[in-house]
Amino acid sequence: MMKAWEKNIRKVVPYVPGEQPNKERMIKLNTNENPYPPAPGVAEALKNLDPDRLRLYPDPACTRLVDAIAKQKGLKPEQIFVGVGSDDVLAMCFMTFFNSEKPILFPDITYSFYDVWAEEFRIPYETQPLDDDFNIRKEDYYKENGGVIFPNPNAPTGVEASQEMIEDILQHNQDVIVIIDEAYVDFGARTAQPLLEKYDNLIVVQTFSKSRSMAGMRIGYAMASPELIKYLNDVKYSFNSYTMDQTALDLGVASIEDQAYFEETLHKIIQTRERVKLRLTELGFTFRDSRSNFIFASHKSCPAEELFEKLKEKDIYVRYFNKPRIHNYLRITIGTDAEMDEFLSEVENYLKESGRL
Amino acid sequence: MMKAWEKNIRKVVPYVPGEQPNKERMIKLNTNENPYPPAPGVAEALKNLDPDRLRLYPDPACTRLVDAIAKQKGLKPEQIFVGVGSDDVLAMCFMTFFNSEKPILFPDITYSFYDVWAEEFRIPYETQPLDDDFNIRKEDYYKENGGVIFPNPNAPTGVEASQEMIEDILQHNQDVIVIIDEAYVDFGARTAQPLLEKYDNLIVVQTFSKSRSMAGMRIGYAMASPELIKYLNDVKYSFNSYTMDQTALDLGVASIEDQAYFEETLHKIIQTRERVKLRLTELGFTFRDSRSNFIFASHKSCPAEELFEKLKEKDIYVRYFNKPRIHNYLRITIGTDAEMDEFLSEVENYLKESGRL
C-alpha cells in the first residue's frame, strides 16, 4: 500500500554513474580519468596539511582557490565560481539561470546529465539533433528558448565546435544565459573564455577532474561576468555555504600553481591520442577528430557492444552507451602508452579471432 | 537598464555565513566548532593517503564511509545517506521530500537555513512560535502540513525536546516526512534514532562538523528507512554523483572508527560547559539548560550587542543574531578551558568596568 507521504516525494530517474570497477590489474578507460598523477605540489600540499585545522570551517568564499584560478586565467576573482566538480557548478547554473517557461536547448547527443538536471529542477527542455557527422547545427539554436548549453568539445563525441559557431550562437542568444561546458577543452580545443569580454550572458565551465588529474578531489569552476558569478554565489550560499572542504581548497591551489606539469601531462596525452587514432584507423575504426582525452569510435564490422563485452572479459574497461544513434560506438579514454598498447593489441586479437581482420 | 536574461534568474536573499575571522591570536567561539583536533587516526589517514589515487573518481556510493557509520550506529548501510556536511544532506532532504502544496512547519527560532532552503526551492512554509522559555509547543505541529523539521537540541537556543514530545509529534504526522536535525545531539542530548524502528517517515540528520571536530571536511549524514534513503540517493545521483571527495571518505572512516577519542572529547567539552554555566550565572546571565556545545545566554543588565562588540575588540568572537525575540542573547561556543577562562574574565572585566557588577 502506498504511504500518504509518498505522493510528495520528488521522484527522479536516477543518473547511473559510469562503472567504477576496482580490480588489482585492470585497464580503466571508461570514465575519462587522467592516467597521470596530480602535480607533485599536490602530494606536497597533502603532506603539509595540518590535521588540527580540519576542526574549523573552511573559507566559504574559497578565496585562495578562486584567486589562484583567476590569476592563472587572467581574470578577476569576481569572475570565478568554484564548486564540487563541474557537475556541482553546472547543477547550480541550471538552478540559478534556467527559470524560464521556454525550453532550454542542448544537443540530442551530449553530456548525459543535462536532461537529468532539467528533470530534477523541472526545467522544460528541447534537444536539438546533431547532424550525421555529430556536428551542432547552429540554426537549431536561433529559436526562442530559456537558455542554451552544450559541451565543447562535445561529449561523448569529442567533436569541437568552431569559435565562429559559438560566437554565432551567442549572437543569436543575447537574451538568455549560454553555458559552454569545457570539461575537455584543455586537450587541444579552443576555449570560449575570450568571448567573456564581449558577452555578459556567457558562462564557461571547466574542471580539475580531467586535465588536472583530480577527479578524486571534486573541483570545478565557472568563469563569467561578475554579475552572473554573484547570482551563482547567492544560490550556492543558500544551498550549502561550505561546499569545498579544506583539503580540496589546499590541493586545488597546489595544482593550479604548477602550470609546467599541467602542460607536460597534456602534451603526453595528446601525443598518445594521436598515435592511437592512427592505429584505430588501421584496425578499421572510424571516428570524428577528437580534441578531448577520449576517442569515440565505431568499427566497420564489429558491433560496439560485442567489443565492449570482450574487452571487459580481459579487464579492459571502455564506455558503451546503449542509446539511439550512438549504440555502435565506444568511448575510449586515453590512458598511458602502455595501457593503450595493451588495449590496441587486445582489440587486434579479438578482431582477428572473430575473422574481422 | 535591466538585461532580458535577468528576468529568469533565481534571485535569493543570500544566507550570510557566520564571520570567519582569521587572526593569529583570537578566541573563536562563534561558529560552534570543536576546540579539540580530530581523532589521531584522521592525521594518520591524511598521511597515508596516496596522492596518485586522486586522479580517479571517488566511490559515488561512499561505501566504506556508509558502512563505517552504519556499523557504529547499529543500522544497515541502506539506512545511511552521506553528504557534504549536514547542510548538503538537509538541502537534499528539502528537495526530495518537501514537495507538497501545504506549508512545511518549523519553529520561529531555529537554524537559520530552513527558511533559506524553503525560499530557494519555493517550498511554502509556516513558522511556529516557541513559547517564552524557548520550548517547542507540540500542538502547533498537529495541523495539516507538508512536512516537519526542527533541530534537537534546537539552534541557537540549545534547548532539548523530550523524546515523548518528539514521538507525539511523529504520531500526529504520519503522512508527511519528519526531519530531526541532530547537529548537536552528541553533547548530552538523546537521539531520536531508536524511533526509526517505529516510524518509516522519520529522518535523523547528524554531522561530523561539531562532535567529531571535522567542520573543515564537510561530512554529514541522514539515518532513515531504506526506502527514504533510496529516494535521497536518487536525487543526489541526479544532482552530482560524486559529492564526497577521496579525502573526505578516507578521513571520515578514520574518525568514526575512533569511538574512544570521540567520547573523551565530548566529555571534556561537557565538563567545561557545565563549569561555564555556573560562572555565567554568577555573572548575572540567564539561559536555558544547554545540551549542545554552546550556551545561549542573556545578561540581566548588559545588552547582548554591546557585550558582543566589546568582546570583539578583545579578539573574542561569539555569535550575535540581530533578530526578533533573540536580539538580547549571545551564542557562546564552548572552547577549551583556557579559552573559556579568558572569555569569562573579559566578560567579568567589562561588566565591572561598565558598572554592572
- Between CA B275 and CA B29 the distance in angstroms is 16
Please tell me the distance from the alpha carbon of residue A124 to that of residue A100, in angstroms, as a whole number: 8
A chain contacts of residue B59, beta-carbon cutoff 8 Å: 20
Q: Which of B167, B168, B175 is nearest to B191 (CA)?
A: B167
* Record: contact B120-A49, CB cut-off 8 A: no
Q: CA A6 from chain center: how many Å?
A: 34
Under 8 Å CB pairs connecting chains A and B tally to: 267
Mutation pick from A5, A32, A115 vs chain B, by most beta carbons of B within 10 Å, is A5
Q: CB A231 to CB B9 under 8 A?
A: yes
Q: Measured between beta carbons, which residues in chain A are less than 8 angstroms from residue B11?
A: 231, 234
Between A246-257 and A63-73, two packed helices, what is the crossing angle to 10 degrees?
20
Q: What is the pLDDT of residues A121-158, one digit of tens each?
A: 999 999 999 999 999 999 999 999 999 999 999 999 99
Scanning every residue of chain B, which has its alpha carbon at the shortest distance from the alpha carbon of A238?
B15
Please list every residue in chain A whose beta carbon sits closer than 8 Å to the beta carbon of residue B58.
215-216, 218
- Helix (H) / strand (E) containing B343: helix B337-353
Q: Kindly report the backbone phi and psi dihedral angles of residue A46, in degrees, each rounded to the nearest multiple of 5, phi listed first.
A: -65, -40
A299 close to A10: Cβ distance less than 8 angstroms: no
The rounded distance, in Å, linking the Cα atoms of B32 and B18 is: 10
Three-state secondary structure of A265-325:
HHHHHHHHHHHHHHHHHHCCEEECCCCCCEEEEEECCCCHHHHHHHHHHCCEECEECCCCC
Q: In this structure, what C-alpha cell is assigned to residue B119?
A: 525560499
- Answer whether B84 sits within 8 Å of A243, measured CB to CB: yes
Kind of pairing between the strands at B330-333 and B294-299: antiparallel
- B263: CB partners within 8 A, 6+ apart: none
Q: How confident is the model at residue A309 (pLDDT cuts 50, 70, 90)?
A: very high
Flag if B37 and A52 touch (Cβ within 8 Å).
Answer: yes
Sign for the CA dihedral angle at B213, B184, B268, B287 comes to positive
Are A57 and B31 a contacting pair at CB < 8 A?
A: yes
Fill in the amino acid letter for A102: K
Q: Which three cell numbers stand for residue A343?
A: 588495449
Residue in A8, A176, A237 nearest the CB of B5: A176
Sequence letter at residue A94: F
Of B47, B87, B216, the CB nearest to A53: B216
Determine whether the interchain pair B237/A17 forms a contact, defined as Cβ–Cβ distance below 8 Å.
yes
Residue of A nearest to B246 (CA): A216
Q: Which residue of B has its CA nearest to A95?
A: B10
* Interchain proximity A87–B175, CB inside 8 Å: no
Contacts 24+ apart (CB under 8 A), A161-170: A161/A135, A161/A136, A163/A190, A163/A192, A163/A195, A165/A136, A165/A138, A166/A192, A166/A195, A167/A195, A168/A138, A169/A138, A169/A141, A170/A195, A170/A198, A170/A199, A170/A201, A170/A202
Residue type, A155: A
**A247 contacts on B by Cβ (under 8 Å):** 46, 217, 245, 247-248, 251
Q: Does residue A291 contact residue A160 with C-beta atoms inside 8 Å?
A: yes
Residues of chain B with pLDDT under 50: none
What pLDDT was estimated at residue B210?
98
Amino acid identity for residue B125 in this structure:
Y
Chain B positions touching A99 (Cβ under 8 A) are 8-10
CA atoms within 13 A on the CB side of B202: 20
The whole-angstrom separation of Cα A265 and Cα A250 is 21
Contact call for B15 and A47, based on CB within 8 A = no
Burial of A114 per CB tally in 10 Å (0-12, 13-18, 19+): buried
Taking residues A286-292, report their average pLDDT: 96
Distance between CA atoms of residues B25 and B315, nearest Å: 7
Task: Look at residue A20 in the predicted model and tell me its pLDDT.
Answer: 77
| Closest Cβ–Cβ partner in B14, B54, B216 for A237 | B14
Question: Cβ contact (<8 Å) for B43 and A34?
Answer: no
CB-CB under 8 Å, B60 with A20: yes
Whether B55 and A42 lie within 8 Å, measured CB to CB: no
**Closest-CA residue in chain B for A243?**
B84
Chain B CB contacts of A84 below 8 Å: 84, 240, 242-243, 245
Give the cell for residue A90.
553546472
- The pLDDT tens digits of the residues spanning B83-128 come to 999 999 999 999 999 999 999 999 999 999 999 999 999 999 999 9
pLDDT at B23: 84
DSSP for A36-61? Answer: SPPPHHHHHHHHH--GGGGGSPP-TT
Bin A293: left if φ > 0, else alpha if -120 < ψ < 50, else beta. Answer: alpha
> Residue A101: is its pLDDT beyond 70?
yes
**Residue A292 clears pLDDT 90, i.e. is over it:** yes
Confidence at residue B266, expressed as pLDDT on a 0 to 100 scale: 98
A239 and B209 within 8 Å at the Cβ level: the answer is no
Q: Is the pLDDT of residue A282 over 80?
A: yes
Q: Give the full edge-to-edge strand order of the sheet including A285-287.
A: A285-287, A294-299, A330-333, A319-320
CA distance B59 to A335: 20
CA distance A61 to chain B (A): 10
DSSP class of A131 = -
* Nearest CB to B4 within list A175, A214, A234: A175
Q: Minimal CA–CA distance to A85: which of B244, B214, B86, B250?
A: B244
Q: Could you give the CA distance from residue B96 to residue B119 in angstroms, rounded to a whole number? A: 15
Which of helix, strand or coil describes residue B71? helix
Secondary structure E strands in B192-326 = 202-207, 220-223, 285-287, 294-299, 316-317, 319-320
- Specify the pLDDT at position A14: 78
| CB contact set of B102 (below 8 Å; sequence gap of 6+) | B124, B144, B145, B146
Could B9 and A99 be called an inter-chain contact, meaning their C-beta atoms sit closer than 8 Å?
yes
**CA–CA dist B209, B191 (Å, integer):** 17
Closest chain A residue to the Cα of B91, Cα to Cα:
A239
d(CA A352, CA A339): 20
The one-letter amino acid code at A92 reads M
User: Which residues of chain A are within 8 Å of residue B245 when distances are taken between CB atoms?
Assistant: 84, 216-218, 245, 247-248
Q: Do B216 and A147 touch (CB under 8 A)?
A: no
Count of other CB atoms within 10 angstroms of residue B216: 27
Q: What is the pLDDT of residue A22?
A: 79
pLDDT above 70 (res A18):
no
Question: Residue A232: what pLDDT?
Answer: 96
**Residue of B1, B31, B216 whose CA lies nearest to A55:** B216
Residues of chain B with Cβ-Cβ distance to A87 below 8 Å are 239-242
**Domains present along chain A, CATH in parentheses:** 18-37+260-353 (3.90.1150.10), 55-257 (3.40.640.10)
Q: Which of B89, B177, B218 to mutate against chain A (most A CBs within 10 Å)?
A: B218
Taking an 8 Å cut-off on Cβ atoms, the answer to whether B51 and A37 are in contact is yes
Cell numbers at A230, concatenated? 554573484
